[in-house]
Amino acid sequence: MPKRLQDQVALVVGASSGMGLATARAFALEGAHLALAARSADKLEALADELGPPALACPVDVEDVAAVDQMVGKVLEHFGRLDLLVYTAGTNIPQRSLEVLTPQTWERMIGANLSGAFYCTRAALPPMRRQQGGLIIYVSSAAVQKPDVSGVSYQASKHGVVGLAHGTFREERDRGIRTCVIFPGLTDTPLVLKRPTPTPPEVMAKALQPEDVAEACLFVAALPPRTYVPELVLMPAGLA
């Protein structure tokens, strides 16, 4: 049987760790040609070696619009097309309350979590328009489903991703371009280590694993182009 993503070209942004790493591995198993993007060149090269040809390491700073454009150009030069973009890149900061949040840390959060998503979307749309098809999956956070103490900069940036996703679909759907926002609950990734107070081990034992989020991305990516999944909420059953 053909694999679910056979010969589709997928750009996974944030592929060096956590959800992005798990998603890249899941897509590769289903036959996708992978472009792997993140800051860490060493980690990307190791992952490309692990996945084997035709995986392509694309080190990039997503907050640099010119670098993002060059990265997508490299993908197109290597593969000739771009079918899937998965944006999992993002960060948080321990100093997140309004009492200690500064303009500099605010900009850092917006840059990594939202501006980077826009820059990648902007660069991916022209080839998808030419192809008259494509799918962009954004990994947001279940923290935006209801107010919490994840920090206003994190909340604002992750809410912004939702607006970016839905607005992009409304503008681009007649060209066959779809979007989806995935909202994972607590997931055992390095980002959890940036919380100001460590999460108790008994809570982390119930958390989602990055592979769970990867399976959600794969589910959406493998659906036929006639389908549209605007949003998908994924929660740890023991913490819901």
Residues marked active site are found at 154
Q: How far apart are CA 106 and CA 113, in angstroms?
A: 11
Q: How far apart are CA 29 and CA 87, in angstroms?
A: 19
What is the secondary structure of 4-46 as a DSSP string?
A: TTTT-EEEEETTTSHHHHHHHHHHHHTT-EEEEEES-HHHHHH
H helices within 30-93, ranges in order? 41-51, 65-79
Q: What does DSSP assign to residue 181?
A: E
Give the gyration radius of the chain's Cα atoms: 17
Which residues pair with residue 173 across a beta bridge?
Answer: none
Which residues pair with residue 182 across a beta bridge?
Answer: 139, 232
The 3-state DSSP class for residue 102 equals: coil
Q: How far apart are CA 208 and CA 211, in angstroms?
A: 8
> Which strand (E) or helix (H) includes residue 125?
helix 116-131
